[in-house]
Structure formats: structure tokens, C-alpha cells
Amino acid sequence: MRLIEGAGDFTSPGDAANHYAEQLRVPDLSLGTYSIPAGGLDDQTPHSEDEVYVVRAGRARLLSGSRSVDVGPGSVVYVPAGEEHTFVDVSADLALLVIFAPPYRSRAEPE
């Protein structure tokens, strides 16, 4: 067992558009915190791993293909590997607990 302190806490990206910090990596998954400030930019590209977002703080809209969902504290969203997605309309500092399986960047990136 391991207690992961600070996971899901917002971290200011300073002058950057956003911030990602990995807090755990084991053979079958990784866990980190993705922070986007209010009015900030989500510039991520599709990942080669499945991921689950748990919104700890903030509000935004998640776009994926023709679908969109509003997210806020307590929202949990699954995004399959390779699916394009982006957070937009970040109206309050967004702090996301992100779980990747297998671990983040452990597979070849999708083409």
C-alpha cells in the first residue's frame, strides 16, 4: 500500500499553458495530476494508453469528437487510447487526477 500525498491538487503552471506531474508509476498503471488554470489551454494530443480523469477542482468542458461534456468536482470521465480529446472553456482552475493504464507513454504513440 502507498498513500499518494498531493495527488489531484492544483499546481500553477507559471508561464506555461498547463502542468502535469506524475505521482505514481507501477508496471500496469500510472497516476498524475494535470492542472489547467482558468482561461488556460489544454494542448495535449491523443495518448496510446486508456485514461480516466477524476475532476478534483475547477470547471471546464471536455470535447471528444462530436461529443462534449461539462465537468466539475467529482466528475469521472474515461477516454480510450487514441481518442482525440481536449478541455476547453476552463472557467475555474482545473485540477484533474489522471490514471493511465498501462502507464503514461509506455506504448508507442498513435499515428
**Is 39 among the domain residues?**
yes
Q: What is the mean pLDDT of residues 43-65?
A: 95
Average pLDDT, rounded, for the chain? 93
Residue 93 lies in a domain: yes
What would the pLDDT profile of 68-94 be if each residue is shown by its tens digit? Answer: 999 999 999 999 999 999 999 999 999
On whether residue 59 sits in a domain, the answer given is yes
- Taking residues 93-100, what's their average pLDDT? 98
Say if 108 falls within a structural domain.
Answer: no
pLDDT of residue 111: 59
Q: Is 54 inside a domain boundary?
A: yes
- The number of distinct structural domains making up the chain is 1
Q: Is residue 81 part of a domain?
A: yes
CATH of residue 50 = 2.60.120.10
Mean pLDDT, residues 27-56: 95
Residue 57 CB neighbours (<10 A): 15
On whether residue 5 sits in a domain, the answer given is no
pLDDT of residue 4 exceeding 90, the answer is yes
- Region 41-45: mean pLDDT is 93
SS3 of the chain: CCCCCCCCCCCCCCCCCCEEEEEEEECCEEEEEEEECCCCCCCCCCCCCEEEEEEEEEEEEEEECCEEEEECCCCEEEECCCCCCEEEEEEEEEEEEEEEECCCCCCCCCC
**Domain span holding position 64:** 19-101
- Report if residue 48 sits inside a domain: yes
List the beta bridge partners of residue 22.
32
> Could you tell me what percent of the chain has a pLDDT over 70?
97
The residue that leads in pLDDT, 109 or 69, is: 69
